[in-house]
Amino acid sequence: MLRFIVRRLLQAVLVMFIVSVLLFAWLRSLPGGPVDSLLGERATPATRAALSKTLGLDQPLPVQYWHFLSNAVHGNFGTSTQVQSGTDAMELFLQRLPATVELSFFAIIIALVTAIPLGYFAAKRHGGLLDTGSVVLSLVGVAVPVFFLAFVLKYIFAIELHWLPVAGRQSPDLDATRVTNFYVLDGLLTREYDASWDAIKHLVLPAIALASIPFAVIFRITRASVLEVLNEDYVRTAESKGLSARIIRGRHVLRNALLPVVTTIGLQVGGLLTGAVLTETVFAYPGLGDALAQAFSQRDYSVLQVLITMAAIGYVLVNLLVDVAYAIIDPRIRTR
């Protein structure tokens, strides 16, 4: 198993290297040149010259790459010009990270809690009404653009019914104490339960919208996997032992059927960021997705740079973690 992990680690490093090269190329290809794009139009010639020096624009490419790399490693991505003018891009990223992580976390939980049982029962009652109905539902879930779903939810539940808030992370009149910047957690830690509850209310609609795509994918994979496992010989053996239905479902069917689902979750994280960009915009939720959308439409290249880099790193890390988790869970790999 150790060999497996080491190999995956090396692969991840290689991917990161290629990503960094591509990023560097991208940065140099931005319209207006790297200096203008990072500083905006109103920078003074002095600032420009300083940045030129930092970026080493007068030096050969490999050296420039080296500067770029060392800047990146130090978290030096420049300053935001539009999204939050004056703030260091890296700091902006760190500020907004908990918001999106919290949202994604709830979205994945919602997706798992609904998709896995549904997938299991759809497979168990293969060909029945539940099966056909939920498959159609999952196809629709993929076909509806996430931002449209977000809008519909917002319209029905926030604007028309007034059940849930329209936008943001927290009601402005609530003065909550910040500990970790994960609002729900913070409320629990400081015993300000109304703050937690308020944060949850703000999370419900965007989380549901965001969960729609992972839901569809996880459902279909669970269903296909369970269908396959139900036909396996070892399930028949378990039945022949007279084991209870509960044990067969948990130990024999699900433990095998859910293995592919674990891998899928890793892939879904990338999709979550895509969905987050759209969902956060609709709900004016101050997370990374919203920052990305704004940075893009307003050409805030520093922010774009840090976000894209972090997205790539994050995605590679999460997939590495998932692979490692899979190696631990599946005894066939663990005991090689």
Partner 1 sequence: MTTAPTKTDTLLSVRDLVVEFGAKGQTPFRAVDGVSFDVRPGQTVGLVGESGCGKSVTSLAIMGLLPKRGNKVAGSALYDGTDLLTLDDREMRDRRGRDVAMIFQDPLSSLNPVVSIGVQVAEVLQRHRGMKKAAALAESRDLLDRVGIPDPTRRLKEYPHQLSGGMRQRALIAMALACKPRLLIADEPTTALDVTIQAQILNLLKELVIDSGTALIMITHDLGVVAGLCDEVNVLYGGRIVETASRHEIFATPRHPYTNGLLGSIPRLDGARSEQLAAIPGSVADNIPWTTGCAFAPRCSRAIEVCRTEPPVLEQDPAAMEEHALRCHNPWPIDEGTRGPA
Partner 2 sequence: MNPLQRKKDRIDALAATAAGGGDIPDAGHVSESGGLSLIGSAWLRLRRNPVFLIGAAITVLFVLLAIFAPLIAPHNGTTKYLISQVTPDTPIPPSQKGFPLGGDDQGRDFLSRLILGSRQTLIVGVLATLAGLFGGLVLGTIAGSIGGWVDSVVMRIVDVMLSLPSLVLALAVATLFGRPSQWTLIIAISIVQVPIFARLLRGSMLTQRASDHVLAARALGVRPAAITFRHMLPNSLGPVLVQATLVLATAIIEAAALSFLGLGNPDDSSAEWGQMLGKAQDLFDISPHVAFWPAGCIVVVAFGFTLMGESLREALDPRNRR
CA distances from 241 to 228, 230, 238, 246, 252 (A): 21, 16, 5, 13, 12
Does position 156 interact with partner 1 (CB under 8 A)? The reply is no
Minimum distance between the CB of residue 185 and partner 1, rounded to whole angstroms?
34
Q: Which of residues 236-275 bind partner 1 (CB under 8 A)?
A: 236-245, 247, 251-252, 255-256, 259
Three-state DSSP class for 79?
A: strand
- According to DSSP, the residues that pair with 79 across neighbouring strands are 88
Does position 317 interact with partner 1 (CB under 8 A)? The reply is no
Report how far apart the first and last C-alpha atoms of the chain are (Å, whole number): 6
**CB-nearer residue toward partner 2: 238 or 272:** 272
Does position 69 interact with partner 2 (CB under 8 A)? The reply is no
Does position 13 interact with partner 2 (CB under 8 A)? The reply is no
Q: How many residues bind partner 1 (CB under 8 A)?
A: 24
Q: Classify each residue of 257-266 as buried b or exposed e, where b means 16 or more C-beta atoms within 10 Å of its C-beta.
A: bbeebeebbb
Minimum distance between the CB of residue 18 and partner 2, rounded to whole angstroms?
5
Does position 319 interact with partner 2 (CB under 8 A)? The reply is yes
**In this structure, are residues 96 and 286 in contact, taking their beta carbons and an 8 Å threshold?**
yes
Q: How many residues bind partner 2 (CB under 8 A)?
A: 45
What lies within 8 Å, CB to CB, of 144 at 6+ separation is 212
Q: Return the residue of 312, 322, 323, 326 that touches partner 2, per CB under 8 A.
A: 312
Minimum distance between the CB of residue 95 and partner 2, rounded to whole angstroms?
19
Residue 191 CB-density burial (10 A; 0-12 exposed, 13-18 middle, 19+ buried):
exposed
**CB-nearer residue toward partner 2: 56 or 271:** 271
**In this structure, are residues 4 and 333 in contact, taking their beta carbons and an 8 Å threshold?**
yes
Q: How far apart are CA 18 and CA 22, in angstroms?
A: 6
**CB-nearer residue toward partner 1: 7 or 251:** 251
- The residue among 211, 235, 248, 198 whose CA lies nearest residue 112 is 211
Q: Which of residues 199-238 bind partner 1 (CB under 8 A)?
A: 232-234, 236-238
Does position 82 interact with partner 2 (CB under 8 A)? The reply is no
**In this structure, are residues 182 and 221 in contact, taking their beta carbons and an 8 Å threshold?**
no
Q: Return the residue of 4, 296, 327, 330 that touches partner 2, per CB under 8 A.
A: 296
Q: Return the residue of 95, 270, 325, 327 that touches partner 2, per CB under 8 A.
A: 270
Q: Which of residues 183-222 bind partner 2 (CB under 8 A)?
A: none
Which part of the chain contacts partner 2 (CB under 8 A), choosing from 15-23, 58-66, 68-76, 188-196? Answer: 15-23
Q: How far apart are CA 303 and CA 313, in angstroms?
A: 15
Alpha helices by DSSP H, listed for 31-88, are 33-39, 45-55, 61-73
Q: Return the residue of 32, 33, 117, 128 that touches partner 2, per CB under 8 A.
A: 32
Q: How far apart are CA 6 and CA 151, in angstroms?
A: 45
Does position 254 interact with partner 2 (CB under 8 A)? The reply is no
Q: Which residues bind partner 1 (CB under 8 A)?
A: 232-234, 236-245, 247, 251-252, 255-256, 259, 329-332, 335
Residue ranges binding partner 2 (CB under 8 A): 14-15, 18-19, 22, 26, 29-32, 139-140, 142-148, 151, 155, 159, 270-274, 277-278, 281-282, 292-293, 296-297, 299, 301, 304, 307-308, 311-312, 315-316, 319
